[in-house]
Amino acid sequence: MNLVRRILSKAGPQQQSLTARWLQPSENVWRLSILDCTQFADGMTSFTSDQQIAESFNRLRTESGQELSNADLTPRQSLRCNLAYEINKQPPDGPVFKSRVMEEKWDIYLYDSNLYFCRSWTGELVHRAAVESEPKRLRIASVQSLQNLPNNLAVRQVDFLVKSHLLLAVALHPLLLELGHDAEKQALYTFNCFGCKGRYGTLEETLGTPYYWNQSPVTSG
């Protein structure tokens, strides 16, 4: 893939030596075949030679995202779903996750019962998710995406972003079926898409899988 070659060409020698490894179901708490991308998540450094992008990232650190509620969104995909997460309280309108470093690739905002998922470097809006309020539960009923992604990938990306960025949990992220079991390409794709939050991925279904805070998902078998 051109994306993979671009990332490799920009990586230094230490980053090019990073490895990802497949774990068998007996080696992880999800009991699925998963790709351990933790070396990439911890060892890759994001940078850009484009001064405009660097300036954009810095400027966006203080943006409220309020203009998103009035944005003219023409989605390429509109997908129904039923995602639910236990929470202590409903978050107020405004930024609910802002990237602190360039290795974090998403900013997330909540306005008028919609979550907006934007790329942190450029502010590009990628997904919008309709939220239904409940006392101690965050429920997502539909996802609209400005990208045309296969295999329900838009919903699975939103599900992972909620778990990893809003709930700050370790969760499974979806891998690209087209990259198969090529560990290096999948890990590079993961870092480009999810940055340092993308630690464990799978080609299997990620919706409904558990997420964790205070335990390592890797087991001894």
Cβ burial of 63 (10 Å; 0-12, 13-18, 19+) is middle
Query: Is 72 among the domain residues?
Result: yes
* Pairing of the two strands 172-174 and 200-202: parallel
Q: Residues 77-99: what's their mean pLDDT?
A: 94
Query: Is 209 among the domain residues?
Result: no
Query: Which band of pLDDT confidence, cut at 50, 70 and 90, is reported for residue 2?
Result: very low
* Two structure tokens written together for 180: 């198969």
Q: Residues 100-106: what's their mean pLDDT?
A: 94
Please give the pLDDT value at position 14.
Answer: 47
pTM: 0.90
Query: Is 217 among the domain residues?
Result: no
Query: Is 162 among the domain residues?
Result: yes
- Percent of the chain residues past pLDDT 90, beyond the cut: 74
Query: Is 158 among the domain residues?
Result: yes
Please give the pLDDT value at position 3.
Answer: 42
Q: At which residue do the structure tokens 């405009």 appear?
A: 52
Number of domains in the chain: 1
Query: Is 20 among the domain residues?
Result: yes
Query: Is 121 among the domain residues?
Result: yes
Query: Which band of pLDDT confidence, cut at 50, 70 and 90, is reported for residue 49?
Result: confident
- pLDDT > 80? residue 48: no
96 touches 110 (CB < 8 A)? yes
* Two structure tokens written together for 197: 């939050």
Domain that holds residue 53: 2-202
- pLDDT > 70? residue 21: yes
Query: Is 102 among the domain residues?
Result: yes
User: Considering the chain, what is the average pLDDT of its residues?
Assistant: 89
Please give the backbone phi and psi of residue 218, each rounded to the nearest 5 degrees, phi first: -90, 130
Q: What is the pLDDT of residues 67-79, one digit of tens each?
A: 998 887 889 999 9
76 touches 146 (CB < 8 A)? yes
